[in-house]
Amino acid sequence: MVNLNTGSSASSDVTIFISDLHLCASRPHITSAFLQFLSSDAKSAKALYILGDLFEYWAGDDDVEDDFNKQIIQGFKQLATSGVSIYLMHGNRDFLITDDFCKAAHIHLINDPTLIDLYGNTALLSHGDALCTDDVTYQQFRTQVRNKQWQSEFLSQPLQARKSQIEAIRLRSEQEKSNKSAAIMDVNPEAVNQLLKEYKHPSLLIHGHTHRPNQHQLLVEGKTTTRWVLGDWYEQGSYLICDASGCRSVNLNCT
């Protein structure tokens, strides 16, 4: 467990959470909106947490010199230079991000899940895909690609070959999703409850992945937890902003 303290509870001290940006060259309006977010709203924060799926996919850190990726890295560097601490958690699309990218972007890589102190409250952070246990096929795939040997063998291939394989996997995944019920692709309530028990009933659980932004009040073993689900950035951007008074969701105009 990693315990990160966001700092004092001054009114100007805020922490921002985002996930599921799925940044890619084919959606330039979202890229523009994100870079604008980094240079404006995000600068008001003491810390920015990205809870997975920053990119549509990440084929390896040897892709940091790609022109598209370089502009994202530059945006992070400028934000970090302004004094904002940036934390990144792997998602199901960008789990191959490692030290080279993080050093270039001035980002700290954190585990999934991670427990932090958020203005006196315990907050458990996760991407959320590990909680979708009803989707057995996906969980089997997740176990495979998170295996260190599989990753080492995959990364030993040429970059373009890796990108081609990822594109094929993405296409197959989208086809499989069309045959799955919405309920299967959501978090499993018992998996959520077990996670909350394991981490001693945190005040907050913040995650993404499901693309179903909402606020849920959970009661487990007589203890209350607020589960915040972050929104995706396919059509418009959004983020969760927290301070000493609580949390609220903010939508961005990405048109």
Can you tell me the distance from the alpha carbon of 67 to that of 117, in angstroms, rounded to the nearest whole number? 37
Answer yes or no: is pLDDT of 11 > 50. Answer: no
Backbone angles phi, psi at 6, to 5 degrees: -80, -10
- Can you give the pTM of this predicted structure? 0.94
Answer yes or no: is pLDDT of 117 > 60. Answer: yes
Answer yes or no: is pLDDT of 4 > 80. Answer: no
The confidence score (pLDDT) of residue 12 equals 57
The Cβ of residue 71 has, within 10 Å, a number of other Cβ atoms equal to 14
Tell me the CATH number of domain 3-129+203-251, given options 3.90.220.20, 3.60.21.10, 3.40.50.300, 1.20.120.1630: 3.60.21.10
With residue 240 as reference, give the H or E element that holds it: strand 238-243
The confidence score (pLDDT) of residue 136 equals 94
- Token readout for 217 is 């009040």
